[in-house]
Structure 1
Amino acid sequence: MHVHLVLFEAWNISRFISVTNKRREIAGASELITYLDRRWVKDAAAELFDGFDPAWRIEDKPVELLETGAGNAKVLVRDAGLARLLVTRVTSRALRDAPGLEVCGVVSAPFDWLADGLLHEALGLAARQLAPVRTSLPGPDARFLRLPIVDQCRSTGLPAESLMRQPGPEPSYEPRSAESRAKWRAYGKQDDGDGLGRLADLAGTKPEQLGRVVEHLNDHAEWVGVVYADGNGLGKVFGAFNQCVDGGSNRRYADTLRDFSAAMQAAARDAFLEAVGAMEHAGAGVKGGDGPVPVLPLILGGDDMVALCDGEWALTFAEAYLREFERLTAATEKIMEPLRRQGEVAALSACAGVAIVKPHFPFAASQDLAYALLREAKQVKKEIEGPCSALSFHVLYDSSGADLDRIRRQITLTELPQWPPTRQPDEAAAQTAAQAARDGRTVLCAQPYVVSASQQEAPWARGRHWRDLEQRVAALASRGDEGERKLPASQLHELREGLFLGPAVADARLENLLPAYGESGLRQLLGDPKSLFWQEQRRDPGRPGRWVTGLLDAMDAEGFLLVGVER
């Protein structure tokens, strides 16, 4: 028996969500993306195959829904003509229902279903076929032409299709594109929260409550956090998934892949709910804590998670999600059993990037920054052996640019300045400066921070565990009996200024402050004894470790990280 693999993918998800800054349209875009795996493929299969049921299996039926989720779908079809027609129906539906979302599909060459191992090969070949197909498609800017001359959409910049009434007490109308209108339809009416049902279910609340969250993040939040999380090592797992299967038959492979993927999605959803529950327990809520938890899920499929959160709670939420994801995947046998067969991954972990920005900062730029921070967090895999969840973050005070490379260059000292001639460093500070100069770089941050409790003793994680950051933030936020700061802001500012002049200067200033403020929390900020810095221990002994400090991270995180709450 010969079958074809049909592979679908929505590949411009990031652009489709982030092209607008309006939270309602962002939520609507999130809803439309899921239509590929929740509606379009199933509806097209029902039109082409009488009596279609997702429980069908290819051995005795003409079609089988192999896997759906995270903006993609995989289908097995016996007939080549029907397979191509399935692609036509699905992509045509995407053009009508979600203009601007790029959905493409490919049909593999036929392969013998009874020959062991060919399904794994077909998945790899179809993935390689998909790349040239999707890059050959014209983008939305080419598809929506501007002749005859039309007005520009206020949201997406595409040609406007019509005027659309805006919510508010006073009637107003704005020109909107077909893409923008589709997102509004998916979001639903403002007053009853239609279309938010799926997102509300993910967030563990009701549609009208999630509508309040959208309004809060759009109009009332002082800071907004964009949280981007992704599992570690799953690309390698899926690339050699045949090793995860007990037996070489295509049926066993298909069932194991389906169960593994479904379990991964369930673990991610449950981790999200657990993180939201932890925030609620800690008192998070719009309007002073009386309203719903201020977090809006945008993407929650497979091992990917993108969410918007009130900036005050963004770091707390991200850390809780990583911790719960690691715990839940380890407790799920349908995940761990295939991994044990592969033998290379003892457990699953995830990393996250958190960009905390002002509400009206362009969402596209903040999402790019969050993704760059996620990639930075994943560098922990090079330094720590074994599964390790980690988190990088940045609070964007300077809106002139959100490029992470530029941000990190600004806090990297490659040439230490000369010590001012009027003051002399002590011997210990001079040795610190000399060592830093020999190593070539001093970095004024310690990111990423390790969330996994199992990696707390890893040499590279020294000073970089999440608890270390929490302790530093707690020291900065500590107050006296009359509400005054135990560590005065003026003294902290002097220390911060000294960081940019090199370890010798910063530690000389620290030495002057320790007698007065050492017992008020200042010692919690130390890396080495009598120093704000410590030298990282690299996994590769041939690469000298940089000198790093946690002070700047703690000062940035203060106000955005809840400390002192029991988990």
Structure 2
Amino acid sequence: FVALFADDKFTDEGELTLLPDSIARRFIRKLLRKVQCEAPGLKLTFSAKPFQWSESLSEAVGEVLNAMKRQRSNQPALRGDAGLGVQITCASTSMPAVIMDKETRSREAGNNPWLPYSAESLAKRTAFSKAHDLLDKTINTRTDYTFALDLDDLGRSEGDTSYIAVVHADGNGLGLLIQGLKERFPAGKNREYINYIRKFSEGVKEVAQKAQQEMIQQLIESTNKDKDKCHIESVGRKTKAIELKQDNGKCILPIRPLVSGGDDVTFICDGRIGLDLAVTFLSAFEKHSQKILPTPLTACAGIAI
């Protein structure tokens, strides 16, 4: 067998796969081809190690993870293709455009809804509806509320300076925890190790989802909604109430989840509630971790306003 670890350089999310040596390289080729076609711009790094079932899988995984760290640190910085001087640039990323696509969601489209997009932007736009619906069903438990799709819908107040908060949260010590399983699962306990890691990974995913649900629910509970409008009461002594917009009768929450994978969570929101939402998420993450995971976790967050 080959213990193969595939890592996404953008989010540090990775997945371990055990494959027979004869198909490992074929698997890598097919996966890379699929990524290039369906998610251009996403960069994957692979690290592999020959492995016999009689050996300790937990030790092999530790060695693969260490090799991955060294491999990633030696890679050049990510740069997109510059294109040619005669090429039009993407309206979203400034990368070379490959298609003119009709913009239907942005108010800035105006009378000219056809805008140029790069392959990366086009892939994201194609996946948007399905991803948005999945995210909405996963962490939003109310059908009369929805997430903001535009930065202008994040709840800024008229006449006030507008701020947004970008929040990224990540579990603490997850890599060290996995590395520390070598003594608990030596050679001869590979199946127990696989079952433990599988259950633990699903548990981490569940903890992050429940923490997001609790954060969104608290935001909804702080919202006053009547027939014509909805708003959040003032945040602090010197801050006005946050007036929220509506879309087809749904109140638009001043938050937009961006990443939800494993213990990694990223969202943007109105700058006035960024700290409160981050604290709520971290507290909920720790609480649900104690209930669900065999080894409880905590999380930390970085916030830019």
Indicate whether the TM-score tops 0.5. Answer: yes
Within the alignment, does 1:119 sit opposite 2:61 as a pair?
no
Contact 1:213 1:286 in 2 (8 A): no
* 1:445-524 correspondence to structure 2 within 5 Å: none
Runs of 4+ in 1 over 3 A off after TM superposition: 128-140, 205-210, 216-222, 243-248
Aligned match for 1:200, one of 109, 133, 136? 136
Deviations along 1:341-400, whole A, 9 cap, x unmatched?
xxxxxx4322222222xxxxxxxxxxxxxxxxxxxxxxxxxxxxxxxxxxxxxxxxxxxx
Sequence identity percentage: 27
Instruction: List alignment gaps of at least 5 residues for structure 2.
Output: 157-161, 224-231, 233-242
Name the SS of the counterpart of 1:352 in structure 2.
strand
Shift of 1:267: 0.6
Name the SS of the counterpart of 1:112 in structure 2.
coil
Aligned match for 1:319, one of 268, 275, 279? 279
Shift of 1:99: 1.1
Distance 2:215 2:13 in 1: 23
Alpha-carbon distance change, 148 to 181 in structure 1, aligned in 2, over 3 angstroms: same
Within the alignment, does 1:84 sit opposite 2:22 as a pair?
no
Greater Rg over alpha carbons, structure: 1
Shift of 1:205: 5.0
Match of 2:244 in 1: 286
* 1:132-531 correspondence to structure 2 within 5 Å: 135-136=74-75, 139-141=78-80, 144-147=81-84, 149-167=86-104, 168=109, 170-188=111-129, 194-204=130-140, 210=146, 213-215=148-150, 217=152, 221=156, 222-245=162-185, 249-283=189-223, 284=232, 286-287=244-245, 291-332=251-292, 335-336=293-294, 339=295, 347-356=296-305
Name the SS of the counterpart of 2:244 in structure 1.
coil
Alpha-carbon distance change, 304 to 296 in structure 1, aligned in 2, over 3 angstroms: same
Contact 2:155 2:245 in 1 (8 A): no
Higher strand share goes to which structure?
Answer: 2
Q: Between the two structures, name the one with larger relative contact order (CA 8 Å, sep ≥ 6).
A: 2
Higher helix share goes to which structure?
Answer: 1
Name the SS of the counterpart of 1:305 in structure 2.
strand
Name the SS of the counterpart of 1:261 in structure 2.
helix
Shift of 1:214: 1.4
Contact 1:265 1:301 in 2 (8 A): yes
Shift of 1:291: 0.6
Contact 1:227 1:306 in 2 (8 A): yes
Match of 2:236 in 1: none
CA RMSD in angstroms comes to 3.0
Name the SS of the counterpart of 1:156 in structure 2.
coil
* 1:33-44 correspondence to structure 2 within 5 Å: none
Within the alignment, does 1:12 sit opposite 2:21 as a pair?
no
Instruction: List alignment gaps of at least 5 residues for structure 1.
Output: 14-69, 189-193, 340-346, 357-567
Deviations along 1:189-242, whole A, 9 cap, x unmatched?
xxxxx44122212331589954x5113556763322211112222232122123
Distance 2:138 2:24 in 1: 33
Alpha-carbon distance change, 136 to 216 in structure 1, aligned in 2, over 3 angstroms: closer
Q: TM-score, normalised by structure 1?
A: 0.44
Q: Size of the alignment, in residue pairs?
A: 275
Contact 2:4 2:49 in 1 (8 A): yes
Shift of 1:269: 0.7
Contact 1:267 1:328 in 2 (8 A): yes
